[in-house]
Structure 1
Amino acid sequence: MVEVDWTGKDVLALRAAMRRSRSEFARLVGVTQRTVILWEKGRTARMHAASQRLLDRVLSEADSVVVARFERAITAGRSPAIDKEVEDDDVNRRELLACLGAGLAGPAAALLANEPEKMLAALDAGSIGERRLGLLEESAEALGRTVIRVPPHELLADTVEQFRTVRTILVDRQATHHQVRLVRTAGRLANVAGEILFNEGDFEHARRWYGTAMHAAQDIGDRSSEDFALAGLAYLPTYADKPREVLNLLAPRLAENPRRGAAAAWLWGMAARAHANLGDAAQFEHSISRSADALDGLPDSELPLGIFSYRREKLAFYRAIGYAQLGRAEETARAAADALAHYDPRETTEPALVRLEYATALLHAGEIEHACAVATEAITDAHTYLGLTVGKRAARFDDELGRRRGRAITEWRERARPALLPNRAAV
Structure 2
Amino acid sequence: MSPRRDMFVEACKRTGYTIDSLAAALGVDRSTVSRWRRGQTPQAAQRLKLAEALRLSLPELDELLEQTAPPTSTALSIIWPMRSPAEGDLLARLDQTRLLVDQTLSKGLGSVTRLELIEERIGDRIDSYTHTPPAEVLDELMPDLLEVQQLADERQPARVQERLSTATAVLGLLSADALMKLGEIDRARYWYGTARLAADDTTNGRLRAQVRAQETMLPYYYGRLQRTVSLAQEAQALAADTVCGASALAAAAEGRALARLGDVEGAERAMATAQRLVDRLDEPTTDAAFEFNDKRLLLYLSGTLTYLGEFDRARHVQQEALERYRSDPTLVIDPALIKLDQAVGEAIDGDIDDACTLAVGTLLDLPADHRTRIVLKRATDVVQAIPTQRWERPAVSELRELVAPKSGT
Taking structure 1 as the reference length, what is the TM-score of the superposition? Answer: 0.65
Matched residue, 2:330: 346
Task: Give the Cα–Cα distance (whole angstroms) in 1 for the partners of residues 296 and 214 of structure 2.
Answer: 14
Distance 1:353 1:411, change over 3 A: same
Q: Which residue of structure 2 aligns with residue 211 of structure 1?
A: 193
- In the other structure, the counterpart of 1:331 is 313
What secondary structure, in the 3-state scheme, does the structure 2 residue paired with 1:268 have? Answer: helix
CA distance in 2 between partners of 1:149 and 1:116 (Å): 27
CA distance in 1, matches of 2:390, 2:237: 45
Q: Which position in structure 1 is the counterpart of 2:135?
A: 153
Cα 1:239–1:322 change in 2 (3 A) is same
Offset at residue 297 of structure 1 (A): 3.3
> 5 Å matches for 1:153-172?
153-172=135-154
Residues 379, 416 of structure 1: 8 Å contact kept: no
| Displacement after TM superposition at 1:173 (Å) | 3.3
2:54 matched residue in structure 1: none
For residues 255 and 116 of structure 1, the distance between their equivalents in structure 2, rounded to whole angstroms, comes to 42
- Aligned counterparts of 1:283 and 1:362: Cα–Cα separation in 2: 24
**How far is 1:268 from its partner?**
0.8
Q: Gaps spanning 5+ residues in structure 2: where?
A: 1-73, 80-95
The aligned counterpart of 1:238 is 220
1:103-160: CA deviation from partner (whole Å, max 9, x where unpaired): x99xxx77xxx99986533323355476643332132232233332232012213212
Aligned to 1:398: 383
Aligned partners of 1:356 and 1:393 also within 8 Å: yes
Residues 62-90 of structure 1, C-alpha deviation per residue, up to 9 Å, x if partnerless? xxxxxxxxxxxxxxxxxxxxxxxxxxxxx
Q: 1:424 Cα shift?
A: 11
Q: Partner amino acid for 1:154?
A: E
Conserved 8 A contact 1:273-1:318: yes
Paired with 1:423 and 1:355, the residues of 2 have a C-alpha distance of 23
Q: 1:320 to 1:424 in 2, by over 3 A?
A: farther
In the alignment, the residues of structure 1 paired with residue 98 and residue 321 of structure 2 have an alpha-carbon distance, to the nearest angstrom, of 51
Q: Distance in 1 between matches of 2:396 and 2:283?
A: 38
In 2 relative to 1, CA 166–118 (structure 1 residues): closer, same or farther, beyond 3 Å?
A: closer
Aligned to 1:322: 304
Which residue of the partner structure matches residue 291 of structure 1? 274
Identity across matched positions, percent: 24
Contact 1:263 1:310 in 2 (8 A): yes
Question: Counterpart in 1 of 2:372?
Answer: 387
Residue 260 (structure 2) pairs with residue 277 (structure 1): yes
| Structure whose CA Rg is larger | 1
Q: Is the 8 A contact 2:233 2:250 kept in 1?
A: no
2:292 & 2:406 partners in 1: Cα distance? 27
Distance in 1, matches of 2:357 and 2:190, equals 39
Q: Structure 1, residues 241-276: CA drift from partner, whole Å, max 9, x if none?
A: 412222233334434644411111111111112211
Structure 2 residue matching 1:147: 3-state secondary structure: helix
Query: For residues 375 and 169 of structure 1, what CA distance do their matches in structure 2 show?
Result: 46
* Structure 2 residue aligned with 1:194: 176
Matched with 2:248 is 265
Distance 1:148 1:413, change over 3 A: farther
Query: Which of 328, 341, 351 does residue 357 from structure 1 map onto?
Result: 341
Q: 1:423 offset after TM fit, Å?
A: 8.0
Q: CA deviation at 1:298?
A: 2.4
Counterpart-to-counterpart distance in 1, 2:258 and 2:281? 26
* Alpha-carbon distance in structure 2 between the residues aligned to 1:390 and 1:194: 16
SS in 1 for 2:201: helix
Deviations 1:193-220 (A, max 9, x none): 1112111222222122112212222222
Distance in 1 separating the partners of 2:127 and 2:386:
35
Structure-2 separation of matches of 1:165 and 1:117: 7
Counterpart in the other structure of 2:5: none
Call closer, same or farther: CA 1:361–1:271 in 2, change over 3 Å.
Answer: same
How far does residue 335 in structure 1 lie from its aligned partner after superposition?
A: 1.8
| Contact 2:152-2:161 at 8 Å conserved across structures | yes
How much has 1:168 moved relative to structure 2? Answer: 0.8
Amino acid at match of 1:194: A
For residues 151 and 115 of structure 1, what CA distance do their matches in structure 2 show? 27
Q: How much does 1:323 deviate?
A: 1.4
1:148 is paired with a residue whose SS is helix
Cα distance in structure 1, aligned partners of 2:273 and 2:351: 33
Higher deviation after alignment, 278-287 or 355-364: 355-364
Residue of structure 2 equivalent to 1:57: none
Report if the CA contact (8 A) 1:351-1:378 is conserved.
no
CA contact (8 A) 2:196 2:211 kept: yes
- Equivalenced residue count is 313
The structure-2 alpha-carbon separation of the partners of 1:136 and 1:323, relative to structure 1 and needing over 3 Å to count, comes to: same
1:423/1:255 Cα in 2 relative to 1: closer, same or farther (>3 Å)?
farther
Give the alignment's TM-score, normalised by structure 2.
0.67
The residue type equivalent to 1:393 in the other structure is R
Q: Which amino acid aligns with 1:345?
A: P
- Cα drift, residue 349 of structure 1: 1.9
Partner Cα distance (1:119, 1:161) in 2: 14
* Offset of residue 425 of structure 1: 9.3
- Listed as ranges, the gaps of 5+ residues in structure 1 are 1-103
